[in-house]
Structure 1
Amino acid sequence: MTAFPLEHVVESQQFDRDLLETVFRTADRMKADLAGKRSLAKSLDGKIMASLFYESSTRTRFSFESAMLRLGGSVITTENAREFSSAAKGESLSDSIRIMNGYADVIVMRHNEAGSAVRAAEVSAIPVINAGDGAGQHPTQALLDMYTIVDAFQRLENLKIAMVGDLRYGRTVRSLSYLLTKYANVELIFVSPQVCKMEKDIKDYLEKNNVPWREESDLSLVAPEVDCIYMTRIQKERFHSVDDYQAAASKYILSLDCVETMKKDAIIMHPLPRVDEIPKEVDSDPRARYFEQAQNGLYIRMALLYLLLQKN
């Protein structure tokens, strides 16, 4: 196997098509090996992952920890590093990362500040994986999103995707937008409240890479034309104004009536957790892929840990 070229995984822009294919092929292998209970069980035996989470998480934290354990490695963890680490005493992020370098072989970090993963990687001699940095990026979520899309359509080209909800603070849609520029004939439609529109940096990046995009306000008009609706939660914790949050909350809900207008082979995605933007009665529709999407996080994160640590 060709050596994995990345030392850290901190942003989606690090991945080109060849690297994406490497990750996806490795994830396929992980999925098959788990199903057949085959050869990867001890591939990271003796390796230790530090799970350093300054923000709450269920899927990302547990899928990373499960991934490491299934590969035969070990985990040291804190679920609230802002309170239960030396950060509570004023220790800087760079000092914390340097200390963790002596205890672990890889650091998986979620932090409340955009750009924190890049800063951590700059001082770390062991791999740092960005598990979400504030309203910045969430590259491993974007990878599992792409893996889910290619599984559904057997391609990543010639797709029209609607991103709905909190696009301003939504790190998942930002990271996914970067990766989608790698493929031909992809069109993005942004559907959001006025206070949650996609930021200019992403729009500029799409234009630089010749990816068409447009903004719409009516989800019901968009639903019949797209191949994928990617719903997101309005993130109350990211808003600086209660009025802005209340103006955005519950504005876009993917009702059963709306789902019925979608293409038969379209898919519905969501990074989860959800609040009310996808009613539970939609879960039984075959187009709903968000629980499968979450499961794919295990295979993608197993693949990344394997690729990063096999060379070290």
Structure 2
Amino acid sequence: MEKIEKGTPESEVLRGHLMATLFYEPSTRTRLSFESAMKRLGGEVLTTENAREFSSAAKGETLEDTIRTVEGYADIIVMRHFESGAARRAAMTAGVPVINAGDGPGQHPTQALLDVYTIEREIGRLDGLSLGLVGDLANGRTVRSLAYLIAKYQDVKIYFVSPDVVKMKDDIKEYLTSKGIDLYEEARGKYIVDRKVLDVLPKHSIIMHPLPRLDEITPDVDADPRAAYFRQATNGLYIRMALLKLLLLGW
């Protein structure tokens, strides 16, 4: 995938196309990433953040009716919703493409795509990986989506590291087991990546995070070349550009 450097003239391949971002949960990074992707390809954007509170949904309008209305305004809809499965409902209703930008504790597929793209760029392969998923694994849609996607590659080992109360749910574990993925579960009392963690982390490894990191990664980690999370965020732009082009024009 060809990168677009800062200052590079924007493409015009999606000129005349309009994207609607319909966010029932606030998410500045994901929304801006999609909007930047669309604009860099020459398209235009209709945007709303926190539609749950400030749209007709607050008056009781169904998701299906909202989608039927918005599809009349735009060529593609990017939606984040607080309910698992909402993106599938929207896609079944809409006559235009719907991109799932996160649905409750369900899935976040574009995050998974940018995650595997980041891994491949940083490490150079996707087969034979050892991957540690750390934190709230029961409710984290980013780790759920990544687990599903990384299972498509060969000889992958996954370590689930979480408190007992938020262990990875059985549906993911059963799926990974069916794909022959080796699983290891650990519960530790502290889930902060700091300089002490870096001291024992292999030199060829990378640290990723969907952001915001809050207190999970200390700022003194940022200067380490293994800290890939800001590069990871930038990669989201390129992945979403590719996805918009694919859905609106074909490849």
Give the TM-score normalised by the residue count of structure 1: 0.78
- Quote how far apart the aligned CAs of 1:251 are: 3.5
1:296 to 211, 228, 235: 235
2:217 aligns to what SS in structure 1? coil
1:204 to 174, 178, 185: 174
Aligned mates of 2:152, 2:36 — CA distance in 1? 30
2:137 to 140, 152, 167: 167
Aligned mates of 2:98, 2:63 — CA distance in 1? 13
Quick one: structure 1 residues 256 and 155, their matched pair in 2 at CA, closer, same or farther if it must change by over 3 Å? same
Aligned 1:127-138 pairs, distance under 5 A: 127-138=97-108
Aligned mates of 2:234, 2:93 — CA distance in 1? 32
1:82 aligns to what SS in structure 2? helix
Q: Residue type of the partner of 2:33?
A: S
> Structure 2: which 5+ runs fail to align?
none
Q: Deviations over 1:38-88 (max 9, x none)?
A: 6x6110001000000000102100000000011000000111101111101
Instruction: Name the counterpart of 1:190.
Output: 160
1:213 to 167, 183, 186: 183
Aligned mates of 2:199, 2:238 — CA distance in 1? 31
Instruction: Name the counterpart of 1:283.
Output: 222
User: Between the two proteins, what is the percent identity of the paired residues?
Assistant: 61
Q: Residue type of the partner of 2:236?
A: G
Q: Residue type of the partner of 1:286?
A: P
- Quote how far apart the aligned CAs of 1:34 are: 4.2
Q: Residue type of the partner of 2:176?
A: L
1:268 aligns to what SS in structure 2? coil
Aligned 1:1-312 pairs, distance under 5 A: 28-29=1-2, 31=3, 33-34=4-5, 37=8, 41-218=11-188, 251-311=190-250
Which one has more relative contact order, counting CA pairs under 8 Å at least 6 apart?
A: 1
Aligned mates of 2:115, 2:32 — CA distance in 1? 17
2:175 aligns to what SS in structure 1? helix
Q: Residue type of the partner of 2:182?
A: P
Query: Over aligned residue pairs, what C-alpha RMSD do you find?
Result: 1.4
Aligned mates of 1:75, 1:35 — CA distance in 2? 20
2:22 aligns to what SS in structure 1? strand
Aligned mates of 1:164, 1:58 — CA distance in 2? 23
Q: What is the total number of aligned residue pairs between the two structures? A: 251
- Quote how far apart the aligned CAs of 1:101 are: 1.0
State the 4+ residue runs in structure 1 displaced beyond 2 angstroms: 33-38
2:54 aligns to what SS in structure 1? coil
Aligned mates of 1:56, 1:35 — CA distance in 2? 27
Aligned mates of 2:133, 2:72 — CA distance in 1? 41
1:77 aligns to what SS in structure 2? strand
Aligned mates of 2:96, 2:183 — CA distance in 1? 38
Aligned mates of 1:118, 1:293 — CA distance in 2? 26
Give the TM-score normalised by the residue count of structure 2: 0.97
- Quote how far apart the aligned CAs of 1:189 are: 0.2
Q: Deviations over 1:253-285 (max 9, x none)?
A: 112111110111110000001111111111111
Q: Residue type of the partner of 1:215?
A: E
1:131 aligns to what SS in structure 2? strand
Aligned mates of 1:262, 1:311 — CA distance in 2? 41
Aligned mates of 1:171, 1:280 — CA distance in 2? 24
Q: Residue type of the partner of 1:264?
A: K
Aligned mates of 2:224, 2:5 — CA distance in 1? 27
Q: Residue type of the partner of 2:230?
A: F
Q: Deviations over 1:198-255 (max 9, x none)?
A: 000000000111111110124xxxxxxxxxxxxxxxxxxxxxxxxxxxxxxx831112
> Structure 1: which 5+ runs fail to align?
1-27, 219-249
